[in-house]
Amino acid sequence: MGAPKQRWTSEEEAALKAGVAKHGPGKWRTILRDTDFSAVLRLRSNVDLKDKWRNLSVTAGGYGSREKARMALKQGKRVPKVNTEPMDVDADNLDNVHDTVIDAKPLAVVVEPSQRECSSEKSVARLDDLILEAIKKLKESSGSNKTAIASYIEEQYWPPADFQRLLSTKLKALVATGKLMKSNQKYRIAPSSVSLGGRSTKVHSTEDDKQNICIRQLTKPQVDAELDMMTHMNKEEAAAFAAKAVAEAEVANAEAEEAARAAEAAEAEAEAAKAFLDAVMLTVQNKNAASAILRAC
C-alpha cells in the first residue's frame, strides 16, 4: 500500500475551484502547470484533482451523479436524466467511501437496469471512437504516442480502472485491422480508414491483379492437356505461359495472406472487445454496490 492520502486544505480546495473556473473541468494537467495554482497544488496529481472535484460536486448536489460532472465537462451537452433521489452524504467519510468502490469509473453511462446491457455493448465499440478522436484532435503530424492518447481520453472522459491495459490491446487491434498505422511507437489514422466507428477494408492488388487474372481450378484431364501443349511450345510461348502461371500463384498467395491477416485481426478485436466488456460490467457492478451502500446510509 502507498503513503496515506493527505486531507485537502482549504487553500488547496480554493485553488482547485479557481483553476476549474479558469480552465474548465477536466483540464487537470493544465491547472497543475498553471503558475497561479502550481505552488498550492504541488503535492497533488491530476487524479487527485479529478477525484476531489467529483467529491465537491457530490457534496454540493447531494447525490453522486457522474452525469453532473460530465455535463459540466461538456459545457452544456445534453445527457440522460438520472432518476435518483437526493441523499445525505457524510462529508467526513466521503474520501473513504470513494477509495473503496466509487473509484471505478466506467465509460458507459448506466442509469437504469433496463439500460445496462445496451450501454455496456455501446462502450465496447466506443473505445475505438475515443482513440480515433484523440488522434484527430491532437493533430500531431508524425502521429500520437500511447501516452498522449491516454492523457487525452483521461482528461475528457471517465475511463475504467484498467484503462491502460485495454488501450494497449485496442491499439494493437486497430493496427491489425488497418484503421491505424504505427511508426516509431506513434499512431496515425490510416488513409484507407473510414469514418469513426466504421470498418476499413484493404484490397491487395499487384499490377491490377496481373490484368484481372482468374485463378483456375483445373481437373486432371485439363492438366494433362496443358502439359501436352507445353511440350509443343517454342521458347517465347513457354516464357509467356510460365509468367502467367507465376502471376496466378502470386495472386493466390496474396489472397491467402490477406485471409490470414483478417482472421488474426478479427481474433484480436474480439479479445479486446471481450476484455473491455468485462471491465465495463465489473465497474457497473461496483457502481450499483456503491449506490446501495449510500442508500443504506
Q: With beta carbons less than 8 A apart as the criterion, state whether 200 and 156 touch.
A: no
Q: How far apart are CA 263 and CA 267, in angstroms?
A: 6
Whose grid coordinates read 496515425?
188
Residue 41 makes CB contacts below 8 A (sequence gap 6+) with 12, 15, 16, 19, 31, 32, 49
Share of residues in the chain with pLDDT > 70 (%): 66
For residue 71, the model assigns a pLDDT of 52
Q: How far apart are CA 159 and CA 174, in angstroms?
A: 18
Q: Does residue 8 have a pLDDT over 50?
A: yes
Average pLDDT over residues 243-252: 75
Average pLDDT over residues 138-142: 88
Residue 199 makes CB contacts below 8 A (sequence gap 6+) with 177, 179
Q: With beta carbons less than 8 A apart as the criterion, state whether 108 and 119 touch.
A: yes
More confident: 181 or 241: 181
Confidence band for 157, pLDDT divided at 50, 70 and 90: confident
1-103 CATH fold: Arc Repressor Mutant, subunit A (1.10.10)
For residue 199, the model assigns a pLDDT of 45
Render pLDDT for 174-222 as a digit per residue (tens, 0 to 9). 888 888 999 888 999 988 654 444 444 444 444 444 444 455 566 767 7
Residue 184 makes CB contacts below 8 A (sequence gap 6+) with 142, 143
For residue 211, the model assigns a pLDDT of 46
Query: Angle at CA 160, nearest 5°, toward 261 and 91?
Result: 175
- The candidate with the shortest Cα–Cα distance to 279, out of 142, 188, 158, 136, is 158
More confident: 143 or 293: 143
Q: Does residue 119 have a pLDDT over 80?
A: no
Q: How far apart are CA 174 and CA 68, in angstroms?
A: 32
- The candidate with the shortest Cα–Cα distance to 202, out of 133, 248, 259, 126, is 259
* Phi and psi torsions of 100, nearest 5°: -80, -50
For residue 135, the model assigns a pLDDT of 92
Residue 43 makes CB contacts below 8 A (sequence gap 6+) with 6
Q: How far apart are CA 187 and CA 214, in angstroms?
A: 37
- Domain locations in the chain? 1-103, 207-269
More confident: 218 or 15: 15
For residue 203, the model assigns a pLDDT of 40
Average pLDDT over residues 3-31: 86
- The candidate with the shortest Cα–Cα distance to 287, out of 132, 106, 127, 165, is 106
More confident: 262 or 104: 262
Render pLDDT for 25-68 as a digit per residue (tens, 0 to 9). 888 999 999 988 888 998 898 888 888 888 887 665 544 444 44
For residue 70, the model assigns a pLDDT of 54
- Which strand (E) or helix (H) includes residue 86? none
Q: With beta carbons less than 8 A apart as the criterion, state whether 190 and 180 touch.
A: yes
Q: How far apart are CA 241 and CA 213, in angstroms?
A: 13
For residue 251, the model assigns a pLDDT of 75
Q: Does residue 101 have a pLDDT over 50?
A: no
How many residues can be counted in the chain? 297
- Enumerate the H helices of 157-234 as residue ranges: 163-176, 207-212, 220-230
Amino acid at 286: N
Residue 157 makes CB contacts below 8 A (sequence gap 6+) with 107, 130
Q: How far apart are CA 187 and CA 177, in angstroms?
A: 13
